[in-house]
Amino acid sequence: MDYSAANTELWEFMIQLGVLSAVMLFSFDLRQILPGVRKTLLPTSVIAGFILLALKVTGVFVPDADILEFVVYHAIALGFIAMGLRVTNDKGADKGTGTGLRSGAIIVSTYLVQGVTGLLVTIPLSYMIPKLFFAAGMLLPMGYGQGPGQANNIGSSYEALGFAGGRSFGLAIAAAGYICACVVGVIVINHWARQGVLKRTAAGEEERPDAGYFMDEREVPISESMDKLSVQIALILIVYLLTYLASWGLTSLISAVSESAAGMLNSLIWGFNFIIGSVIAMLTRKMFEAAKKRGWNRHQYQNNYLLNRVSGFFFDLMIVCGIASIDPEDISGLWIPFAILAVLGGIVTWIYLKIVCRKNYGDYWREGLISMYGMLTGTIGSGILLLREIDPELCTPAAGNLVSGSAYGILLGAPVLIFVSLAAKSVGMCLIVLGLTMIYGGVLVAFLLKDRKKETKK
């Protein structure tokens, strides 16, 4: 085998990763050195993504589009698998009745509110702007609510159905979501601080975590021959292998039963493989817990600290590559609907979340609101970033609600995935999906606004 630079297949992927890593580290230093950049609260990965996009537009460095799409697709699944494997504990959890379920309902109902907003914009505009896909509004909950990974996947599927530039449009929506999260978040946090309802903690004032933060006493000892990080990576890759086998088996079965059903569902299954991976990861975690209770396992394999770091690594890669994948030429002629969706999405999401968070999160509704807004316009990372500005030690249950709510959101959000797929079939079907979205959203909103005085007394 030729190991020289002449073998581009051998070196291209590593060269691209090296440049991505260099841009990420440069962005990290930029954020540390320049106070103005730091105060924007833009995550390092978002800054790196825009820098890489600028390098691509100017022709200084043009990253390989296939590699970027490859990284975005796999990174979202690997990141969610790492999160799903984490051992659950009671730290930071809300002891209130059904808070996890309510948080999941808040997340999914926000997707539905964003979807309705998006379709009400793009369906009529598609008659005035021929290039605009009538179902493009469903990219608003994918880009804002679920981040660049799903914006990439659904945008690509819409592109295959005739939406020219659909992938770049979805990724641009996701990038706008990060900016929206940080701009609105900074303005609101400063406003609350001026009102005197909260005290921001200066950098460096947080207490250092103790040893229990890094390692649980039930875990495999450090003295074991296999490195702890290697154990976590092995678990993640095994679950991802099972995810591939489950997706392959399911799509093969559907193809054998009905070709028409396969044409509608198979791309959806592969596009949402991260959900299958999350479910398998949670089942794997439950299996380990059951084996430990029966005495089959001496130690706990998972290390939450390392799993958090690994998921953070994959999500950072996903964000950088997702933003860098945007092709401005693809969305030329679509700037007006893009701007309308970006602005309306941010406004509607804030108004809706303020109502439901006040109703469901009691005396920590501000922490719940700012964290949910950060997550539902960016990712869970931007939600935690904003939350740490007002709750640096994560003393309130807000951070735990993001995680528990996301778990319930997988179940409650299943109809949303069907709506996203059906909306692209035709304008008539898109209108039916709009109606179904309103109905399902109304059910969840009624549940969230239900009077819980009796529950509180109990």
Tell me, what's the pLDDT at 376?
92
Share of residues in the chain with pLDDT > 90 (%): 30
Q: Tell me whether residue 108 is in a domain.
A: yes
Residue 375: what residue type? M
pLDDT for res 134: 93
Q: Considering only 20-24, 269-273, 307-311, which range has the smallest mean pLDDT?
A: 269-273
Among the listed residues 108, 190, 161, the one whose alpha carbon sits nearest the alpha carbon of residue 413: 108
The answer to whether residue 294 is domain-embedded is yes
Q: Per mean pLDDT, which of 21-35, 39-53, 143-157 is the most reliable? A: 21-35
Is the per-residue pLDDT at 406 higher than 90?
no
Q: Convert the pLDDT of each residue in 303-360 to its tens digit.
A: 888 888 888 888 888 888 888 887 887 788 889 999 999 999 999 999 999 999 999 9
Given this model, what pLDDT does residue 96 score? 46
For residue 375, being part of any structural domain is answered with yes
Does the pLDDT of residue 452 top 60, yes or no?
A: no
218, pLDDT greater than 80? no
Asked if residue 207 is part of any domain, the answer here is no
Which residues, at least 6 apart from 349, have a Cβ–Cβ distance to it below 8 Å?
110, 113, 114, 144, 373, 376, 377
Other C-beta atoms within 10 Å of 434: how many? 21
pLDDT of 170-211, one tens digit each?
A: 988 988 888 888 788 888 888 887 887 665 555 444 455 554
In a domain, 223, yes or no: yes
CA–CA separation, 184 and 188 (whole Å) = 6
Q: Is residue 265 part of a domain?
A: yes
Tell me if 101 sits within 8 A of 447, measured CB to CB. Answer: no
Q: Residue 295's pLDDT is what?
A: 76
Domain membership of residue 11 (yes or no) is: no
Going by pLDDT thresholds of 50, 70 and 90, the confidence category of residue 443 is very high
Residue-range definition of the domain harbouring residue 383: 16-199+218-457
Give the mean pLDDT of 239-244.
Answer: 95
Residue 9 included in any domain: no
> Backbone phi, then psi, for 221, in 5-degree steps?
-60, 155
Total number of domains constituting the chain: 1
